[in-house]
Structure 1
Amino acid sequence: MHARSDTPRLKNKPRQGDLTSGCLDDIVGCMSTPDELERQHTLHTAVARYDTLRTRDALASPNEEGEPPAAPPLSKEEALEMLALGELIARKAGYGRQLGVRSARSAGASWSQIGAALGTTKQSAWEAHARWLDEQGAGGMTSRPPMPIG
């Protein structure tokens, strides 16, 4: 007798065609990148545009009853712009977070207090800030903070 095959598992496996767009990977064309969008947007305007695209994307999804979507789906360019804006927002928020850490330290906050405010340990907060300062070091911004004790 032959061993029984597990065909249901294979039916759920995505086909290669479902995973590729058919476009060459090295052709970027006129798509938006986070670096390009950074020159065009503040954090506030990036969030506003992202929110607009995300809302339209959510409205374009079919609802549970199978009714037609409330809005047309995003174009390829808009979907890529939404992804790039998400990355830009994360970058800008991370930069703002470290500026906030610097302000908190200048105001006399301990690393334990900063770690608690960030939902992490004092060591993790210090290490993240030290990494950020090292990255900024190429521009000669500031020196490493003293390591937390205990």
Structure 2
Amino acid sequence: MHTPDSIERQFTLLTAAARYEELRVRDALAPAGRGGSDADEPDAVSLSAPEALELLALSEVIARKAGYGRQLAVRTARATGASWSQIGAALGTSKQSAWEAHARWIEDQAEQQRRIGDDDAWAEAARDLAGPPDEVRNA
């Protein structure tokens, strides 16, 4: 059975997106409500149950990988002097929402580091870089 955890290590963001798109297009072109293929559309083949589940799992893998990349980009924006207002605008959200999402990401990463026995130095540096939501950084 396909689960996000079982396939996440097999795919990069790019390869997961390519496989997802392949399955999504097949699903979109397949006749609605029927399995198999349509005689009028020989290339439109419905997804099998395992493929439909793979499509769902891939969508979660893509969201996870994109979310991680998003937070790395937020960290880079902060390191280069961007304010939380600018980051929020780039994400289409408020500065508070952007800061809160990044703070949660830092804590999630810190918890993963603690589980493998690493110290909290990375998390402290990340928290310092993030600063409070209303702080403007000077790069």
> Which residue pairs with 2:116 in the alignment?
none
Identity of aligned residues (%): 63
> Which residue pairs with 2:133 in the alignment?
148
CA RMSD of aligned residues (A): 1.8
> Which residue pairs with 1:98 in the alignment?
71
Segments ≥4 residues shifted beyond 3 Å: 66-70
Indicate how the Cα distance of structure 1 residues 149 and 72 shifts in structure 2: closer, same or farther if over 3 A, else same. Answer: closer
Whole-Å Cα distance in 1 between the matches of residues 31 and 72 of structure 2?
38
Task: Give the structure with the higher percent strand.
Answer: 2
Deviation at 1:146, TM superposition (A): 1.4
Task: Give the structure with the higher percent helix.
Answer: 2
Pick one of 81, 85, 94 that aligns with 1:112: 85
Q: State TM-score, norm by structure 2.
A: 0.78
Q: Secondary structure at the match of 1:71?
A: strand
Q: Deviations over 1:32-59 (max 9, x none)?
A: 1101111100000000000000011111
Q: State TM-score, norm by structure 1.
A: 0.72
Query: Whose RCO is larger (CA < 8 A, sep 6+)?
Result: 2
Pick one of 48, 51, 59 that aligns with 2:29: 59
Deviation at 1:142, TM superposition (A): 2.2
Q: Which one-letter code corresponds to 1:130 in the other structure?
A: A
Are 1:71 and 2:56 matched, yes or no?
A: no
Q: Which has the larger radius of gyration?
A: 1
